[in-house]
Structure 1
Amino acid sequence: MCLVYNLGILLYGWVLRLAAPFNHRAALLLQGRRRVWGDLAAFWGDDKVAWVHCASLGEFEQGRPLIEALRKQRPDHKVVLTFFSPSGYEVRKNYELADLVLYLPADTAANARRFIDKVRPSEVYFIKYEYWFHYFKALKRRNIPLYLVSAIFREEQIFFRWYGGWFRKLLPLVTRFFVQDERSASLLRSIGVAHCEVAGDTRFDRVKALVEQAREVPVIADFAKGQRVLVAGSTWPPDEAILAKWLEQAPSDVKIIVAPHEVHEAHVQELVARFKGGAARFSQLKGAVSAEARVLVIDTIGLLSSLYRYGSVAYIGGGFGKGIHNTLEAATYGMPVIFGPHHKKFKEAMDLLEEGAAFAIAGQADFEQVMAGLWDGDAARLAAAGAAASAYVGRMTGATERVLGVSAGTQATQD
């Protein structure tokens, strides 16, 4: 099976080279991997190093609290941050809390030995996913502790299939698994992996920090003052169609702040047109929002995590496509969240539903019914749902400290 794995890695490299002239992402990944060894040529010699690996941008946001805590708790350590995907590296290649940001070279035995010999990490953290055999094996041989952080497991994964024997061999190479929930821990124990503990999800620490760092946006505060405001984040056209139709018959004191997932000009124009002249664009404001505008379209990036404070209900987009986006940023502000049917792969969404802090919809009628219940029904229902959201996030914070507490003990034992 190792031979098949190695051939797969080799084949992927060939496909990458063939695709690079025609595919921008493939070209970025190929070029980035070629730069790694040059970037490492002037790497420091004797400093302790913490290596953090993230598959992509989502995993980076999950691992970000860990990096921030490492900087505070291990001031004598350098931090090396690696990515597999261009969508992570290209956005965070200048991340100020990392001393070096790199693409992870392909998982061959030679690359793994060369990379680890150069970086010489004293501790390694892989975030959520990514199981690279040769890197794991090389770390184990050098007795370098490897931690899987915010890991989550499902029964359909190959580790738990009858034909997954070779892949199960990767699991003992990990020093400790910090899993998100008891179900993941039980699955690991069912195949003899006992070196795991339920630590939670570091994303909760991240969203808590975002709330604490959220900035005031006076023009949006003025737009929302004295109104009932729905904040819709990371929306796609099917989400936006539901919102536009609902607003046609909503009471006059209802307003929407919508931050679409795609902010390119064509989509923003289409979105504004959906609301039939009743929408203003954030980037074009020269003062207060017109009194006639019931919708404010956020056509810039970087504001969403600060917007939820201005609403009392949140709609999270993506549920009518590949899957919903981040529900935690809204829930942290103590507001109920609404999303579409494609949410079942997201643990926090399922948790929020169980807590009574979220509502799943299948279409227009469901959305209108939920909104009527929250805003036009018993006011206590809205308050209870918001309180449940806030309490849930509060209970789930602290994973970062638990991870670093254990890893610090491991370091002390080794020293």
Structure 2
Amino acid sequence: MGQFLYSFLFHLAELLLPIPALFNKKLRLFVKGRKPVFKQLMHFRATYNDPVAWFHCASLGEFEQARPVLEEFKKRYPDYKIVLTFFSPSGYEVRKDYDKADLITYLPIDTWQNAKKFVDLLNPQVVFFVKYEFWYNYLKRVAQKNIPLFSFSTIFRKDQIYFKWYGAFFFRTLHCFDHFFVQNQESVEVLEEAKVYNFSKTGDTRFDRVEEICQQAKKLPLVEAFTEGHRTLVVGSSWPQDMVHIFPLINGGKTDLKFIIAPHNLKASEMKEIENQCAGKVIRYSKASEQNVSDAQVLIIDNFGMLSSVYRYGDFAYVGGAFGSGLHNILEAATYGLPIFFGRSAKNRKFQEATDMLAREAAFDFERSEEFAEKFAALYNDEDQYQQAADRSRRYVEENLGVTAQILDFCEAYIK
């Protein structure tokens, strides 16, 4: 009954989604992007007869977790072709030109017909699904064909449907996997309680990724000229809900403190609002020069792709998103040993790194502007306390490196 209802709902979704897609850009990309998938697969297989490793990600965040494993896999097994699929347009549209994969496409909706056709056409030799992706029909077909199937950077919680009394059908999807590489102790305990034992606690592959980014960070002379001789708070991926708490600090009279702000959305209205709310001189990176940047108090990064390199010039980091859709990547700041601040939200518990860094007092959360100001001042005014938090931040990253190698060393026995 469960399988019938599951398949019926996905068939219905496949039929009906083109209607709301007429009025929604993201849905339109979701529907349109899936139309050529099977033609792409047939062309791919007509071109290459090589063994295939298939990596599947929900979206952009999961891609960042997949990336170190995918790239290391390519180094270890150069004879393999890499196929990368996404569920969401927010992942596919950003990474559709990623040069380390041989084919990048959408994953068709999870009907049995789509899953069987997709897996049979692609005929992969090994499959990796990232974090939360558990599509029953695809997993069932991969398991039926005895293709090695792994999930990594995975997190399980007791409140997930797989472990509810009514979730027996969804729980069956877990039995399709050869092995889970989970992030945390809670996942271990949940799986053991459910009598699932084919797992290892390895951690999150993003640690390897952010360390690689750190080692390859670009030198930014304009940012260096801006920060020289001043302590700096880097505000990464900020939303208007975050800036409400930042403006009082900017206008609080700390002459030794500068601010680099990288908005999540580069809307003209948001950048203009930042400029209007700041009492001191504000300059956008696109208009900065070494002559006019040094006396500014606030530097706005008005482009994408720089933030991970900007953190190297900071002394503190504020990472946005917690008051909205979800906390953005705090590991990019942690890898440079920055104490980190972010909003307090129930959603944060889904991010293991946030939980860990709060427990270590390498990161600090808050609800009100006054609470943020108090916690920031404690580090700003006490060099010893600041240094302890910075050391804990960097040490947290160092202690969690090497996950990629653990995963691929384990999988070696399954790869022909």
Q: TM-score, normalised by structure 2?
A: 0.96
Aligned equivalents of 2:211 and 2:142: distance in 1? 33
Are the counterparts in 2 of residues 334 and 386 from structure 1 also a CA contact under 8 Å?
A: yes
Identity of aligned residues (%): 42
Are the counterparts in 2 of residues 223 and 289 from structure 1 also a CA contact under 8 Å?
A: no
Are the counterparts in 2 of residues 233 and 260 from structure 1 also a CA contact under 8 Å?
A: yes
Aligned equivalents of 2:94 and 2:323: distance in 1? 26
CA shift digits 1:318-372 (9 cap, x unpaired): 2222322111000110111011112232210110011110111111111111121
Q: Structure 1 residues 219, 288: closer, same or farther in 2, change over 3 A?
A: farther
Aligned to 2:369: 364
- What is the letter of the counterpart of residue 86 of structure 2? F
Point out where structure 1 has 5 or more consecutive residues left out of the alignment.
none
Aligned to 1:271: 274
Aligned equivalents of 2:351 and 2:16: distance in 1? 31
Number of positions where the alignment pairs a residue of Structure 1 with one of Structure 2: 411
Aligned equivalents of 2:405 and 2:291: distance in 1? 43
Are the counterparts in 2 of residues 181 and 200 from structure 1 also a CA contact under 8 Å?
A: yes
Are the counterparts in 1 of residues 280 and 298 from structure 2 also a CA contact under 8 Å?
A: no
Are the counterparts in 1 of residues 208 and 404 from structure 2 also a CA contact under 8 Å?
A: yes
Point out where structure 2 has 5 or more consecutive residues left out of the alignment.
none
Are the counterparts in 2 of residues 234 and 325 from structure 1 also a CA contact under 8 Å?
A: yes
Higher alpha-carbon deviation: 327-336 or 339-348: 339-348
- What is the letter of the counterpart of residue 233 of structure 2? L
TM-fit CA distance, 1:291: 4.3
Aligned equivalents of 2:107 and 2:247: distance in 1? 44
Aligned to 1:392: 396
Counterparts of residues 129-140 of structure 1 (less than 5 Å): 129-140=132-143
Are the counterparts in 1 of residues 184 and 352 from structure 2 also a CA contact under 8 Å?
A: no
CA shift digits 1:159-193 (9 cap, x unpaired): 11111111111111111011001210221111111
Are the counterparts in 1 of residues 251 and 280 from structure 2 also a CA contact under 8 Å?
A: no
- What is the letter of the counterpart of residue 43 of structure 1? F
1:118 aligns with 2:134: no
Aligned equivalents of 1:288 and 1:98: distance in 2? 42
Q: Secondary structure at the match of 2:18?
A: helix
Aligned equivalents of 2:326 and 2:60: distance in 1? 16
Q: Structure 1 residues 291, 200: closer, same or farther in 2, change over 3 A?
A: closer
Aligned to 1:336: 339
Are the counterparts in 1 of residues 53 and 126 from structure 2 also a CA contact under 8 Å?
A: yes
- What is the letter of the counterpart of residue 8 of structure 1? L
TM-fit CA distance, 1:277: 5.0
CA shift digits 1:386-411 (9 cap, x unpaired): 10011111111111111111111122
Are the counterparts in 2 of residues 315 and 338 from structure 1 also a CA contact under 8 Å?
A: yes
Are the counterparts in 2 of residues 40 and 118 from structure 1 also a CA contact under 8 Å?
A: yes
Aligned equivalents of 1:107 and 1:145: distance in 2? 20
Aligned equivalents of 2:278 and 2:320: distance in 1? 17
TM-fit CA distance, 1:12: 1.6
Aligned equivalents of 1:186 and 1:145: distance in 2? 24
Are the counterparts in 2 of residues 222 and 288 from structure 1 also a CA contact under 8 Å?
A: no
Higher alpha-carbon deviation: 246-255 or 397-406: 246-255
TM-fit CA distance, 1:31: 1.4
1:349 aligns with 2:354: yes
Are the counterparts in 1 of residues 152 and 182 from structure 2 also a CA contact under 8 Å?
A: yes
- What is the letter of the counterpart of residue 397 of structure 1? L
Aligned to 1:33: 34
